[in-house]
Chain A
Amino acid sequence: MSDTILEVRDLKKYFPTPKGTLHAVDGVNFAINKGKTLGIVGESGCGKSTTGRVILRLLEATDGDILFEGQNIRHFNKDQMRRLREDMQIIFQDPFASLNPRMTASEIIGEPLLIHNKVKNKQELTERVAELMELVGLSPRLVNTYPHELDGGRRQRIGIARALALKPKFIICDEPVSALDVSIQAQILNLMQDLQEQLGLTYIFITHDLSVVKHFSDEIAVMYLGQLIEKAPARDLFSNPTHPYTRALLSAIPSIHLDHKMEREVLQGEITSPINPAPGCRFAPRCKYAAPECTSREIHLNEINDGHFVACAMAGKG
């Protein structure tokens, strides 16, 4: 356990709404080892982005512990948090909305260095920015361009360079390639992979794209309505999906292989409301295997195989 960089325990984030309490993240547990990638997948509204934001304390957790390098950061004060931000960064989904349109590429990349007093003078700043731009494959001639002059791939490279400016250990990547075309997406994924090897980064990779997450992650956690319902090493999850929701999710991916007609488990209906959820398994109303015991008690993650956890009352019962 010594190489665990981040661990969350029973993490909860509730939002009060006029209709009741929205359980966006509801009792999530996981740990990540240094230099590894944990993929978090799920559909819109499952709480994956909220989980990422709560870990970085961009949103305050309602309950639970966030241990970063052994320290519980949930109760860190402003000063401690500020220092911690050097180690924990985020790359956002939309490189169109997450960059300040009034700042040039070099200003955006250099801003964290200035805020954290990492450079002594202007020359050092220019040098560091040039290094970072080279690291992410941005041409030096782009230093004075504004985000609107650049395409999505280059903008995302700026977002990555900015996230790397403070030499973080850990980066949350929130749908970093979802807004990009496939050929550009592959370039960015390769870049992120190279950076991970070069700099020993640890990633949480949040996405709805299952083929990307399989390619990119060591371990994958599947979320449904605020809860982790299955977690396993990437290959294991795809070869042996156990939770009925995971199975439906995987079988819904349109394969590029013409003869690959996976046995489809088409889900009935749509995601139910995360407001004041009923006790027990949240997937039960849409699950064809649901039995009375699914809703009579809370269902917790259970290890069914080496490192393969699933939260299903029916798992292992055939």
Chain B
Amino acid sequence: MTEQANTQDLLSIEDLSIVYEVDGETTYAVNGLNITLKRGETLGLIGETGAGKTTTALGIMGLVPNPPGRVVSGKVVFDGEDLLQMPKEKMRGVRGNRISMIFQDPMTSLNPVMTVGEQIAEVILIHEGVSKKASFQKAGEMLEMVGIPAVRAGDFPHQFSGGMKQRVVIAIALACNPDLLIADEPTTALDVTIQAQVLDLMKDLKSRYNTAMILITHDLGVVAQVCDKVAIMYAGEVVESGDIRDVYENTKHPYTRGLFGSIPDLDHSVGRLNPIKGMMPDPTDPPSGCKFHPRCPDATATCAASEPAPVLTETGHVARCLMLQSMVEPTDVNRVQG
């Protein structure tokens, strides 16, 4: 688990565990998570409510609220340095500058009493040490880049529609030309036609600036259209991950299969959907063994007893399932993890 990170990796998360402790009760939000990402790559992080997607993002950004949150173990190696060991001062220079984040709800992540121009200029002013005038100049350029006329820099957030607000948020996130962009459900609050516009914009900007991106979403379709790699999270763990085509076409983990069975397919009509039975486990009291076993159609007695280790599938991606473990040797899976 602790082997040297591949030097080409921009981001390498190793064995990250995060808990929240409230009133003596421990919520296991992220459990031994491994993810790697190269420059310019886009990773889709898929999971349902409570899977630990957002906590993972906050963990990378060093923004897990403490208390009640606590990073128990692991490393977040970004461009060769472990962010978890980095002094606060230095981390502040990374956050918003080399790593930035887009939050789900553009209505609440913008300051309602500042003009959008000021909000974009603020980031540039803080991180790039330029003059106020130059920062406003750049803010105007950023607005144009996301498709909003620069003359609107003096407008307040409430004067924009939802899709335009999300464009403003993207402009703020990209203002310092970050190496890594973490987008947490960036289009979930938007209508489909506006979502299509915003996704196109993000894809275009990402390829233009070679920005690596982690796209957090519950939407398998959005990931299919935007990402190169995918990681499926369940109960704080990555249960299946790898190259998007491999994971989507050679799905191995029963949870991933369940997700695909739950969404109506536009191209093939089915009479009934094939959902996953039951609910997400209580994160304060996770099940023993494989965390998915109480809901798994293929579970056997072994699944309740021992925890599955990540194994490499025949086609070359990683899945955490005891049913696969018997078939494949768990060798060197860390290298392809993520």
Give the interface of A toward B (CB within 8 A): 43-44, 151-153, 181-187, 189-190, 193, 208, 210-212, 214-216, 235, 238, 248-249, 251-258, 260, 264, 266-267, 270
Contacts and interface: CB of A to CB of B under 8 A. Distances in A.
Contacts of B249: 258
14 contacts: A43-B192, A43-B194, A44-B162, A44-B191, A182-B259, A184-B48, A187-B277, A215-B273, A216-B264, A248-B193, A254-B219, A256-B263, A264-B196, A267-B197
A257 B224 contact: yes
A208 B192 contact: yes
Given A43-B191, A238-B266, A248-B193, 19 more contacts: A43-B194, A183-B275, A184-B279, A185-B275, A187-B275, A190-B273, A211-B263, A212-B264, A252-B196, A254-B195, A254-B221, A256-B248, A256-B265, A260-B267, A264-B196, A266-B193, A267-B193, A267-B197, A270-B164
Interface residues of B, number: 47
B269 interface: yes
A252 B192 contact: yes
Nearest to A150: B279
Contacts of A249: 192-193
Contacts of A260: 267
Given A181-B48, A186-B263, A211-B263, A253 B221 contact: yes
Contacts of A238: 266
Nearest to B268: A257
A190 B221 CA distance: 21
Given A182-B259, A183-B259, A257 B193 contact: no
A246 B45 CA distance: 30
A252 B261 contact: no
B224 A258 contact: yes
A153 B30 CA distance: 23
Say what secondary structure dominates the interface of chain A. Answer: helix
A239 to B, nearest CB: 11
Contacts of A270: 161, 163-164, 194
Nearest to B255: A183
Contacts of B191: 43-44, 208
Interface in B145-185: 161-164
Contacts of A211: 263-266
A193 B272 contact: yes
Contact of B48 (A182, A251, A266): A182
A193 B264 CA distance: 14
A61 to B, nearest CB: 26
Nearest to A261: B225
B211 to A, nearest CB: 20
B272 A190 contact: yes
A24 to B, nearest CB: 17
Closest 5 pairs (CB-CB, A-B): A186-B275, A215-B264, A254-B221, A186-B262, A43-B191
B159 to A, nearest CB: 13
Interface string B21-36: 0000000000000000
